Structure 1
Amino acid sequence: MMKMRKAAALLAAFALTCAATACGKDMNAPESSVGEVTEAAEESAEDSAESLADETEAAPEESAENAEESSVSDPLPRDVGAVDANAVTFEDGDLHTLHQMGEGGDECDVELSVVDLDGDKKVKVHALRDDPSADYGVVKLVFNLPEMLGVENVGKIGHISVDFTCIANEMWQNDDGTESLVVGNFMGALAGNLASEQVKDADGNVKQNAWATHMEFKYEDWEHSEGSWRCETDIPAAKIEANGYASTEGTTLVIMRWGQKNDVDFYIDNVTFYDKDGNSMPVLSGEAADAPAETDAAESAETAE
């Protein structure tokens, strides 16, 4: 009997111990399921960390690609500086005597027109070519200075400023076979007829040249389809007094663009003349009002004359 009571007491104690142990667990879940939940949580955390790391590594590459695409597609601002009150802005629709030189040789034909470019009027210069596989020839454009400034004021010119904008219409073919819609090279010169004839002193030294290249410019953009620049030069250039303008008829400002491989229109704006003291010179109003949207170069020359 004592043995039976002792056995019963031992069984009761064992039952209490088992109950106390079970209080910290989900009694409905076996031990194996608890282990599986723990392992699943650890695996989920590891997967999340790896996914976050992959996204973090991919983000800079995607950002770089987006930035590169943006730099190619988004044009640069056309504002290249303050515009003087006496600048020829072409807002009146007049070409202000601008016309094609038309002397043949390496010169290409052009179409000139005053166009509205996002609210700002400019002279559009569109070069022409007969052979689509050939390079474009040299663009040669002429301003008649006596008509613009008055013949008595031409000799006072001490500085000239011109704004250019280039917009590509055709892909540039790279040497490696790839192509991109970029401006590429924009090279040329500002020049002009300085006097009706060359003048020499008694010793044969040139006092006045009849022609001079004021400056050659070289701009380029290999990332954008559009670019803008301000081109400026002192007159006379390089302090050669013989290359200054004389107050005579026939004096001109000539704008040239060298040969171009791809089709790129360029636009002229804010042509400004300054005297030798640095003051801007007023320009006489043009005779031709409201130039048509597309004006042939030959017609423009006749209108200006």
Structure 2
Amino acid sequence: MRFAILNGEIIERSEAKVDVEDRGYQFGDGVYEVIRVYNGKMFTATEHLNRFVKSSESIGITLPYTQEQLTKLLEELIVKNNLQVGTIYMQITRGISPRNHAFPTEKVMPSLVAYTKEVARPVENLKTGVKTILTEDIRWLRCDIKSLNLLGNLLAKQKAAVEGCFEAIQHRSEDVTEGSSSNIFIVKNGIVITHQSDNLILKGISKDVILQVCASNNIEVEERIFTLDELADADEVFLSSTTAEVMPIIEVDGKSVAAGFPGPVTRRLQELFEQEIEKQCGSLNDKILY
């Protein structure tokens, strides 16, 4: 992908560089978003940008752009890079200032960067399901902010990678929170159960789409804390994220989930999720076919 956005301008990606004293580089003092692109169109762009603004405001960064301006910039970037299926990564930091833990006292312009990446739909994994591990959730207590401070998430994801697994399911004591880069759901007796959106998890955009299609299709949902024992006893388990969509989980810590293949509720939600994509972005050529 040849072009990137730097502080409101689309430039050659090779020229998109930030100062060594940018507070994002030195402190992780910033927030980010990842937006899915299908058929050259952003999926749930408004929801992602709403969360981007909310995360920014939560740490005291005022965006120097309106959401309309950001939307236009991102649409132009998609066209410039001829992106059809992939992602947009964007982040904003507090800006460039001499290193000091306290916020700068002088007026500092936030630093905004964005770039695109080709990422195909993970259709085979969506059909067969993925393996996961369990790990203690060691992160801070404001996981609802999509912060650049991701070391806890990275350690969990690396643990999963070493074990040959797709994701790490995190838990605080006996309570399941979320994946290292996803929201986690269980299904029991036809009821979809997932952690309520509070400070202990990120309020996932894909999660919200799933909750909306459940409500529209009479699929019962409980947003509440569930335990490791409930996870082990679940009829189905799946995760959601911007790039993984509705991803079946067939194994947790070496133990099969139920029969070890994607269950009927998960498959139904995959179908409904694809319908939501097509409403916004047009027909999919690589649909999940069981």
TM-score by length of 2: 0.25
Q: TM-score, normalization: structure 1?
A: 0.24
Q: Which structure is larger by alpha-carbon Rg, 1 or 2? A: 1
